[in-house]
A and B are shown apart, each in its own frame.
Chain A
Amino acid sequence: MVPLSWYLIVAAGLFCLGLYGVLSRKNMVAILMSVELMLNAININLIAFWRYQDPARIVGQAFAIMVFAVSAAEVAVGLALVISLYRRRKIVIAENVDLMKW
């Protein structure tokens, strides 16, 4: 059986990948996609811990489904904002969205 640490390493790698994407990509759609990567990394963690630590109860799966739902909602709102910004101001670059700046 594959040991738990491998899962965790994959998840950590995926998370860092996502984090890097969030911090470095300029396109807002790409940033949202990177956020999805980070959430998926967390889901892997949750499932892995459930399977190795407490397989009798389904808490980990429930949490993962919850994260899916939240991330789906978050992407829906995020994409709506991105589309709205694009339609009004022709912007897709996150750095140019500085309306809230002092």
Chain B
Amino acid sequence: MTTESLIWLLPLPPLLSFFLIILFTNRNRALSHTIGVGAAALAWLGSMIVFLRAAFGEGGFHHLGEHPFHSAIAWLPVGETTFNIGIQIDPLSAATLFFVGWTIFMIFLYSVGYQNFGQPEGDHDKKGLPPHGATVTDEHGHKHTVLSIEPNYSRFFAFLSLFAFGMYVLVVSDNLLTLFVGWEIMGLCSYLLIGFWFAKPSARAAAIKAFMTTRIGDVFMLLGLAYLYSQTGSLSYRVIFSPEVLEHLAHDPAVGGFLGLTTASLIGILFFMGTIGKSAQFPLHVWLPDAMEGPTPVSAMIHAATMVSAGVYMVIRIFPILSAGAEHGLTPAMSTLAVIGSFSALFAATIAIAQNDIKRVLAYSTISQLGYMIAALGIGAYVAAAFHLITHAFFKALLFLGSGSIIHGMEHGILHTGDHHMDPQDMMNMGGLRRSMPITFWTFLIGGLALSGFPFVTAGFWSKDEIFADAFANGHYTVLIVLALTAFLTAFYTMRQIMLAFAGEPRTKEAEHAHETPWTMTVPLMILAVFAIAAGWVGIPNDFLGLNLGEINWIHGVSYTLVLSEFELEGITFSFIPLTISLAVALGGLVVGGVMYRDFKAGQTDPVKKMLGGFHAVLQNKYYFDEFYHATFVRFSQWVSETFSFQWIDRGIIDGFLHTLARVAFFLGGVFRDRFELPVISGGADWVASVFQWFGQTFRTIQSGRVQQYMILVLVNVIAFGFLFYYLVEVVGR
């Protein structure tokens, strides 16, 4: 099979799996998950083959950058041209395909264990609610409460498959329209999956919030698509990223001279707004923490492998447009990215240190890390951003799946004690889990260290270091300081999380009875842990520590994707200053976190709370953004829909107009009825009828039924007419 046709087929297995499960096999759980995991495995296998051929084929990335795998078909005739869709694998999408394939496959496998396959049906589980546990009786007659299988088990795999389909479509697209299609499929699936436990009001609200919030960004992105298409007549990467088109876009002022931007900048900013929604950047970050209402594999899918990464992937993809015209410093679009990205990074990191829900910490951490990537793009370090995207996908998927494993273990403990009001996600209830859940502990530790950027070993260190190095080398010191501060906070809250969950003694009975999770959950953790370390080694700078290490940096091959000259990375030479900063913040954060939470006991006040005092409440309530949005946008929308649209427009104007019309028609109808219909038509018809009636009444007496009487009448008539004719002919006629 040629590589091109293999790429065409990549999104197919998850799509088939979705339809098979939804239409045929949803009653059979084992068959459904076999199809789902099988499809993910097939897509994974295909991705790996494509990746290997792309990365280690003839000429490697350098060759691939100039001659990407590409194939397109005519799809839609538009006016005089045809809209082509197709597939394209260049170095960037090959690298993306690598981590997408792995993480999606791991998450599918993990879901089998997380949704309790092989456990009995719950005693009173309902569809749309998380499983509550089942009672089983062992051979000695003892009753135990054990975890019960998810009631909507098959449906979960169907949704995951569709989600995977969306991501594969997005990655292999050769144009922005099919990318947008994949993007929206994922938006739908995130709605379905966040609201997977739809009988929980909080899950429903979170699903709607996520959908609405990302929709805001998507509308702007669609505007950007339309604007770009109107300017260039194409959405295919090959056309829109060609030097002539970029040249045109960079020097053409935006429509109406909007804010003095160039067309390229305006389009870039519109697209970036889509990313703000999808990748949960400030100010549309509010949906992501609430999305934690979904089952944990969903969190990992959405927050690591697919949806939020897709936002950053798209920005890297359109980086040529963002940076078009950057010969004289950063373009306005890039400055926007730098500001929003670094602000989101710091802002989310500060919130993360005051959260107690293990998944929410990770959610804010995700916002923060995505902000990192956006900020890196804003200062032109797009290879570093792509690198961080890949490493982050691995270690954040690992952390989310690890947190799911912890929650699972805690639920085991809760079933043991029977205290269903206990929150299994609250880190304050954990502690000492390293003994009961060793695999989860070690893998979570690796993921946490990678997130903090633990030096020289973990993947996160190399990718963050590259961002620092770029910021330093290009003189963007503000961004560098903000990101360094963020890195410190990141290391701190990660250590806090690890300490609270695993260190010390169990703070609750539930934590004492926590239990390691089945192999379907731990195996993905171990595999992802390998990547959380090794994925960073491809990005070690060639001149690290001033040594000449030869051509060991593979990730820079991604730069061959893009047609750019002004942001070549070759020029960045190694410097000890960013390395020192990187080491200091990572180790400093880890040490501070470790010391503060080393001996945290049940009932103690959170050391962060003691230190920050009143500000802690502000952080814990996420700077009151939800409340602020509720008081402004939500209330305003409700006012618009209820009072303005419904009461005024609909009730008052439209209904009022219709009612007036109805009254006029009613009045006219009355007039016509009384003045015309009743007297003329109805009266006339009655009069005609009464005439005939009188006639019949009068003349019916001659109908005696006697033949001879009729004969006499005939005779009389004949005689009468005879005389009449005689008179007429003989007398008058003469």
A, B co-complexed: yes
Q: Which residues of A contact B (CB under 8 A)?
A: 19, 22-24, 31, 94-95, 97-102
Contact segment of B386-394, B541-549, B702-710: B702-710
Residue contact A23 to B705, C-beta cutoff 8 Å: no
Chain B contacts for A19, CB-based, 8 A? 715
| B700, B705, B712: the one within 8 Å of A98 (CB) | B705
Q: Are A95 and B715 in contact (CB under 8 A)?
A: no
Partner of B711 from A23, A97, A102 at Cβ < 8 Å: A23
Asked if B712 and A23 sit within 8 Å, CB to CB, the answer is yes
Per the 8 Å Cβ criterion, residues 692-734 of B in contact with A are 700, 703-708, 711-712, 715
Selected from B705, B711, B712, B715, the residue in CB contact (under 8 A) with A100 is: B705
User: B711 touching A22 by the CB < 8 A rule?
Assistant: yes
Tell whether A101 pairs with B707 under 8 Å between CB atoms, given A19-B715, A23-B712, A23-B715.
no
Q: Is the CB of B706 within 8 A of A98?
A: yes
In the complex, the answer to whether A23 meets B703 with C-beta atoms within 8 Å is no
- Please tell me if the beta carbons of A23 and B708 are within 8 angstroms of each other in the complex: yes
Q: Is the CB of A94 within 8 A of B708?
A: yes
In whole angstroms, what is the CA distance A32 to B716 when docked? 20
CB distance from B451 to the nearest CB of A (A): 109
- Report the separation of the CA atoms of residues A87 and B464 in the bound assembly, to the nearest whole angstrom: 123
Q: Would you call A101 and B711 a contact (CB within 8 A)?
A: no
Residue contact B715 to A97, C-beta cutoff 8 Å: no
> What are 9 residue pairs bridging A and B, where the CB atoms are less than 8 Å apart in the complex?
A22-B711, A23-B708, A94-B707, A94-B708, A95-B706, A95-B708, A97-B705, A100-B705, A102-B705
Contacts of B707 in A (CB 8 A): 31, 94, 97
Q: Which 5 A-B pairs have the closest CB atoms?
A: A101-B705, A98-B705, A102-B703, A102-B700, A100-B705
Specify the chain A residue showing the minimal Cβ separation from B696: A102
CA distance A23 to B715 in the complex (A): 10
Smallest Cβ distance from A74 to chain B, in angstroms?
Answer: 14
A101 touches B703 (CB 8 A): yes
Cross-chain contact A98 with B704 (CB below 8 angstroms)? yes
* Residues of B contacting A23 in the complex (Cβ-Cβ under 8 angstroms): 708, 711-712, 715
A71 to B704, CA, bound (A): 27
Residues of A within 8 A of B705 (CB): 97-102
Chain A residues within 8 Å of B703, by CB: 100-102
Q: Spell out B's residues near A (CB within 8 Å).
A: 700, 703-708, 711-712, 715
Q: How far is the CB of B684 from chain A (nearest CB, A)?
A: 28
Chain A: CB-nearest residue to B704: A101
**Extra 5 A-B pairs, beta carbons < 8 Å, given A94-B707, A95-B706:** A22-B711, A23-B708, A23-B712, A31-B707, A31-B708
Q: How far is B703's CA from A95's CA once the two chains are assembled, in angstroms?
A: 13
B700 touches A94 (CB 8 A): no
Which B residue sits closest to A99, measured CB to CB? B705
B693 to chain A, nearest CB (A): 14
In the bound complex, residues from chain A placing their C-beta under 8 Å from that of B708 are 22-24, 31, 94-95
CB-based nearest A residue for B701? A102
Question: Which residues on the B side are within 8 Å of A100 (C-beta)?
Answer: 703, 705
Report the minimal beta-carbon distance from B297 to chain A, rounded to whole angstroms: 94
Q: CA–CA, A5 to B704, complex, Å?
A: 39
- Chain B residues contacting A97 (CB-CB under 8 Å) are 705-707
Q: With both chains docked as a complex, state the minimum distance between the C-beta of B317 and any C-beta of chain A, in angstroms.
A: 98
What chain A residues lie within 8 Å of B706 (beta carbons)?
A: 94-95, 97-98, 101
Q: Which residues of B contact A98 (CB under 8 A)?
A: 704-706
Q: Which residue of A lies closest to B705 (CB)?
A: A101
CB distance from A101 to the nearest CB of B (A): 3
Residues of B within 8 A of A95 (CB): 706, 708
Question: In the complex, A18 Cα to B274 Cα: how many Å?
Answer: 114
> Nearest chain A CB to B463's CB is how many angstroms away?
111
A83 to B332, CA, bound (A): 118
**What's the nearest-Cβ distance from chain B to residue A3, in Å?**
24
Please, how many angstroms separate the alpha-carbon atoms of A6 and B706 in the complex?
A: 36
How distant is the Cα of A94 from the Cα of B704 in the complex, in angstroms?
A: 12
Tell me, in angstroms, the Cα distance from A67 to B705 when the chains sit together: 28
Shortest distance from the beta carbon of B173 to any chain A beta carbon, whole Å: 91
Chain A CB count within 10 A is highest, among B707, B711, B712, for B707
Closest to B707 in A: A94
Taken together as a complex, chains A and B put the C-alpha atoms of A42 and B540 apart, in Å, by 138
* A96: nearest chain-B partner, CB-CB: B706
Rounded to whole angstroms, the CA-CA distance of A24 and B712 in the bound complex is: 10
Report the minimum CB–CB distance from A92 to chain B (whole Å). 13
Give the distance in Å from the alpha carbon of A57 to the alpha carbon of B711 in the complex: 35
Shortest A36–chain B CB gap in Å is: 15
Q: How far apart are the CA atoms of A39 and B333 in the complex, in Å?
A: 120
Instruction: Name the CB-closest residue of A to B709.
Output: A95
In the assembled complex, how far is the CB of residue B573 from the closest CB belonging to chain A, in whole angstroms?
126
Query: How far, in angstroms, from A95 to B712 measured CA to CA in the complex?
Result: 13
A66 and B712 alpha carbons, distance in the complex (Å) = 27
Complex: A95 Cα to B704 Cα, angstroms: 10
Contact residues in A for B704 (Cβ distance below 8 Å): 98, 101
CA–CA, A46 and B574, complex, Å: 145
For B700, B708, B715, which residue has the most chain A Cβ atoms within 10 angstroms?
A: B708
A33 to B272, CA, bound (A): 116
Q: What are the residues of chain A within 8 A of B715 when measuring CB–CB? A: 19, 23
Q: Kindly report which residue of chain B lies nearest to residue A101, judged by CB atoms.
A: B705
Which chain A residue lies CB-closest to B706?
A: A95
> With the chains together, A98 CA to B85 CA distance in Å?
93
A98's nearest neighbour on chain B, judged by CB, is B705
Q: Which residues of B contact A99 (CB under 8 A)?
A: 705
Give Cα A13–Cα B695 distance, bound, in whole angstroms: 40
Alpha-carbon gap, A97 to B709, bound state (A): 12
A102 to B700, CA, bound (A): 7
> CA separation between A56 and B703, bound complex, in Å?
48
Q: How far is the CA of A24 from the CA of B715 in the complex (A)?
A: 13
